[in-house]
């Protein structure tokens, strides 16, 4: 697993041992970021939120491409994220350990909003839908929400569905946008 392009291009990311996390493959990540590059200019992205961050690969890729700052949330892998952030030499990163619902609620109480949100929870546990609903209800998104989920999972949202891409039999990525007022 590596950063594909930008300031930290080629950096190999540390990953947790074992099968407790399912990092986004380089092939899926490259496809996703090609799609996102057609929708947004990363240098105009002020803030990125990476929920269920795992290795931090999605938020770090956005930072490498020009996003200004990133916040990473994970319940278990914060030391790996911290190491990857340090090795990528990114300064504007916050790494938060704990329950994503509690952390998102705290972020909302601070009136924070993110231009780009990634959510990559464990598949088939209802967490993809739950994180999407929570981001909407707490008004955390000012732009795109990208959710990686099991291919059989169907997500619904008040956000505008921009695109759903399925990779094989197991993985799908759905991209939503905050509706324009």
Segment holding 137, helix H or strand E: helix 127-137
Which is it for the CA torsion 113, 153, 28, 96, positive or negative? positive
Q: Name the band, by pLDDT with cuts 50, 70 and 90, for residue 73.
A: very high
Assign a CATH topology to domain 26-177.
Rossmann fold (3.40.50)
pLDDT of residue 20: 57
Which distant-in-sequence residues (6+ apart) come within 8 Å of 144 by Cβ? 36, 39, 40, 115, 116, 117, 162, 175, 176, 177, 178
What are the residue ranges spanned by the domains of the chain? 26-177
Grouping H, G, I as helix, E, B as strand and the rest as coil, residue 167 is strand
- Give the tens place of pLDDT for each residue, 140-176: 999 999 999 999 999 999 899 999 999 888 899 999 9
Question: Is residue 50 pLDDT above 80, yes or no?
Answer: yes
Q: Name the band, by pLDDT with cuts 50, 70 and 90, for residue 17.
A: confident
Question: Is residue 21 pLDDT above 80, yes or no?
Answer: no
Q: Supply the DSSP symbol for 125.
A: S
């Amino acid at each position: 697993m590596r950063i594909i392009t930008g300031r930290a291009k080629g950096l190999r990311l540390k990953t947790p041992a074992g099968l407790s996390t399912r990092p986004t493959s380089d092939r899926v990540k490259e496809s996703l970021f090609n799609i996102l590059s057609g929708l947004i200019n990363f240098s105009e992205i002020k803030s990125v939120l990476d929920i269920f961050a795992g290795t931090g690969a999605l938020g770090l890729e956005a930072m490498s491409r020009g996003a200004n700052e990133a916040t990473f949330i994970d319940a278990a892998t914060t030391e790996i994220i911290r190491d990857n952030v340090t090795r990528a030499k990114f300064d504007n990163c916050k790494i938060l350990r704990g329950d994503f619902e509690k952390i998102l609620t705290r972020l909302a109480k601070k009136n924070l909003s993110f231009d780009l949100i990634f959510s990559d929870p464990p598949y088939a546990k209802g967490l993809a839908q739950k994180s999407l609903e929570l981001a909407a209800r707490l008004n955390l998104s000012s732009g795109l929400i990208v959710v990686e989920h099991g291919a059989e999972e169907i997500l619904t949202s008040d956000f505008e569905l921009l695109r759903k891409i399925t990779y094989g039999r197991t993985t799908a990525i759905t991209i939503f946008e905050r509706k324009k007022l």
